[in-house]
Amino acid sequence: MITEALVLSAFLFVLGTFGVLVRRNAIIMFLCIELQLNAVNLSFVAFSRIHGMDGQIFVFFVMTVAAAEAAVGLAIIISIFRHYETVNVNNFKLLRW
């Protein structure tokens, strides 16, 4: 059960990484980052079956940070949208070479 959960966590993390790499829609990239955070949460919970309750407490903190990150990130997306009228990251090229 622990091993299966860790393998599932690895696959979800990799899918999230793939999504961040290949999508251009900023909101979907954010969703993929949430997916990565969730995959890490799953491996924390799985390891808590070996190492004790601390893993579950860390998941609690990760969820809080994810909520804060989503709020600030979506605010940034809103202000970018006001400026460029799009959320496609191809259009944000100020820092690109």
Partner 1 sequence: MITVLFYVFAAIAVGGALGVVMSKSPVGSLLSMVATLGSMAAIFVLLEAHFLAAIQIIVYAGAIMVLFLFVIMLLNLGHDYQKDLKGGVFALASFATVGAMAGLLSIQLRGAGLAEDGPGGAAIDAAMAEHGVVGAIAEPLYTTYVVPFEITGILLLVAIVGALALAKKNPA
Please give the distance of CA 10 from its chain centroid, rounded to a whole number.
13
- What Rg do the C-alpha atoms of the chain give, in angstroms? 16
Q: Which residue has the tokens 């601390």?
A: 54
Shortest separation between residue 62's beta carbon and partner 1, angstroms = 10
Smallest distance from partner 1 to CB 15, Å: 4
Distance between CA atoms of 44 and 51, rounded to whole angstroms?
A: 10
List residues bridging with 88 in a β-sheet. Answer: 25
Residues that bind partner 1 (CB under 8 A): 1-8, 10-12, 14-19, 21-25, 27-28, 30-32, 34-35, 38, 41-42, 45-57, 59-61, 63-72, 74-79, 81-82, 87-88
Of residues 21 and 94, the one with the C-beta less far from partner 1? 21
